[in-house]
Amino acid sequence: MHQDFRRQGVATLLMNEAMRELKKKGCVFLYLKVRSSNTDAQKFYEIFGFKVESVRKNYYGDPDENALLMMARL
């Protein structure tokens, strides 16, 4: 998301809606991957109950970096 539009609750609205709809459809677990250096996004995901499950070594390129696999229970 463009810097100018961050910290206004937009991603919170989208995440709440996505989680509500997926739960309605019977999903139980939600997974995502995030760059290990992207601590800002990790803080955001933690608010929604995501916890680090495992590390995918060198998952990302340009620059090479590990991915954290995060999981939340709906």
9 near ligand COA, judged by CB under 6 A: yes
Smallest Cα–Cα separation from 15: which of 54, 45, 39? 45
Please choose, out of 22-30, 36-44, 53-61, the segment that lies near ligand COA by the rule CB under 6 A: 36-44
User: Considering the rule CB under 6 A, would residue 7 count as an interface residue with ligand COA?
Assistant: yes
Cβ closer to ligand COA: 22 or 44?
A: 44
Neighbours of 38 (CB within 10 A): 15
If the CB atoms of residues 21 and 40 are measured against ligand COA, the closer one turns out to be 40
Residue 38 interacting with ligand COA (CB under 6 A): yes
Chain centroid to CA 10: how far? 14
Stretch that binds ligand COA, among 21-29, 41-49, 56-64 (CB under 6 A): 41-49
Measured CA to CA, the distance from residue 8 to residue 6 in angstroms comes to: 5
- What is the C-alpha separation between 5 and 11, in angstroms, rounded? 10
